[in-house]
Structure 1
Amino acid sequence: MTIKAVLFDFSGTLFRIESTASWLRAALDATGLALADGEFGRAVAGLDEVGALPGGSTHPVEVPAHLAGLMAVRDVDAERHRAAYTGLAREVPLPDDRLYDALYERHMAPEAWRPYPDALDVLTALRGRGIPVGVVSNIGWDLRPVFVEHGLDPYIGTYVMSYRHGVQKPDPRLFTAACEGLGVAPADTLMVGDDRHSDAGAADIGCAVHFVDHLPVTQRPDGLRPLLDLL
């Protein structure tokens, strides 16, 4: 099989969200609020436990029963995405209601995200080989400013975001749209992602699939680099 194009997932693959502590600190700063050390630590632990930070969890989270249905379709549109994650955050008592919206707004800020250390090198190498790249993400907001802010946008030929299509991975329509956007056949395309359920949907249209581990940036310095050997 000759790979003529590569599709990447966003969160946990090319980029990783900041820590829960950093996320909460930024929301506090944005609202001019403060928490005592003990309160801050308890809030961080609580937000971690319920998986309130989008893209932050590296372990299975037990979703509260009253939010399970919403979480299952959270990436279908922007409204449900916001409702799902602010709903999770509201499971944790915080001293001011403004913090829940501030937390959601913060996770969409480009400065809340960091590319994995080898992301730029891998994208540069793909461009050097003449291999076009697309991004396919289950998400409820426009992630393109994150790529622009971190200098990776010039390497991306097409973005396919679930909320703009009304379906979410593993629905094959998203991968088909990405292949069409790059002008390549699925059989000539490699999908790279961290979710063995959602990203595996690319195989249903004939793409090859390669998985990476969803880890903090400091713990995965070269997780993307091995895919170059596959090409």
Structure 2
Amino acid sequence: MSDLDAVLFDYSGTLFRLEEDESWFAGMTLDSDERRDIDGHVQAELMRRLTAPTGRSVSMPPDALEAWMNRDLAPHLHREAYLHVLRESGLARHHAEALYAHVIDPACWTPYPDTATVLDGLRQRGIKTAVVSNIAFDVRPAFRALGPGGAVDEFVLSFEVGAVKPDAAIFQAALDRLDVPAGRALMVGDSDEADGGARALGCAFALVDPLPTRDRKDGLIAALWEHGIQM
């Protein structure tokens, strides 16, 4: 029997993953002397740069760095930061804008195979849930697309609450909304640095691997199992 009353989840790399579709890159090349084609390896690297939870992947002048450091607090900064990353990665601006449009479209994000099972299972067990994400666009439509299995009690998104993980304030906001003490909550995420910040408040923490969805069938189920919640 679990002693948890709530589970907090990260979004990207935890419940959903942004996985490239080859059609997104049709007609694109990298700016260089030889106009390099965007093959599978380049696609994978571009997607990594768009979804890595922490760190920088390209050089940044002061204005771009400022946008990058605050990207999850405001949509316009998010756009500026990631367009800079894509331009520095070699994409022409119109191609960068086209690819960025997929990043902020919840319909382009793929749920992990066990996402709906876990969310529905927690609801049936009376365990509250929240999505706690460093993000600058509304992810709620992605969960509505899952139907009843996508039900979540609270969405605590950095651009809406003005705090970014690992700042304790964003986790505290989730706990307050759920009316659950930290010692009765589990945070599940793919970044020990960002999501693991919940431990400072006394939450338990489970780390999942942000593998492609085809390669991680039951990562969420396994994470909950280790903390006494059996699906």
TM range (shorter): 0.7 to 0.9
2:136 match: secondary structure: coil
Pick closer, same or farther for the CA change 1:152–1:175 going to 2, 3 Å. Answer: farther
Pick closer, same or farther for the CA change 1:64–1:46 going to 2, 3 Å. Answer: farther
Structure 1: give runs of 5+ residues left out of the alignment. 29-33
TM-score, scaled relative to structure 2:
0.84
CA contact (8 A) 1:13 1:194 kept: yes
Q: Paired residue for 2:182, among 179, 186, 189?
A: 186
> Aligned residue pairs: how many?
220
Residues 128-177 of structure 1, C-alpha deviations (whole Å, 9 max, x = no match): 21101100000011111111123367520000000112221001111111
* Matched AA of 1:65: M
CA contact (8 A) 1:58 1:214 kept: no
In the alignment, which residue of structure 2 is the partner of 1:88?
A: 85
**Percent identity of equivalent pairs:** 37
Is 1:63 aligned to residue 58 of structure 2? yes
> Aligned partners of 1:84 and 1:214: how far apart in 2?
22
Residues 55-95 of structure 1, C-alpha deviations (whole Å, 9 max, x = no match): 2x499763313244432322122121111101111113445
Is 1:41 aligned to residue 38 of structure 2? yes
Residues 85-119 of structure 1, C-alpha deviations (whole Å, 9 max, x = no match): 01111113445x32222221111223311111111
In the alignment, which residue of structure 2 is the partner of 1:227?
A: 223
In the alignment, which residue of structure 2 is the partner of 1:4?
A: 5
* Matched AA of 2:154: T
In the alignment, which residue of structure 1 is the partner of 2:203?
A: 207
Pick closer, same or farther for the CA change 1:141–1:50 going to 2, 3 Å. Answer: closer
Pick closer, same or farther for the CA change 1:161–1:27 going to 2, 3 Å. Answer: farther
Pick closer, same or farther for the CA change 1:26–1:93 going to 2, 3 Å. Answer: same
TM alignment of 1:59-138, pairs within 5 A: 62-66=57-61, 67-94=64-91, 97-138=93-134
> Aligned partners of 2:46 and 2:94: how far apart in 1?
21
> Aligned partners of 2:19 and 2:171: how far apart in 1?
27
TM-score, scaled relative to structure 1:
0.84
> Aligned partners of 1:202 and 1:46: how far apart in 2?
33
> Aligned partners of 1:225 and 1:83: how far apart in 2?
36
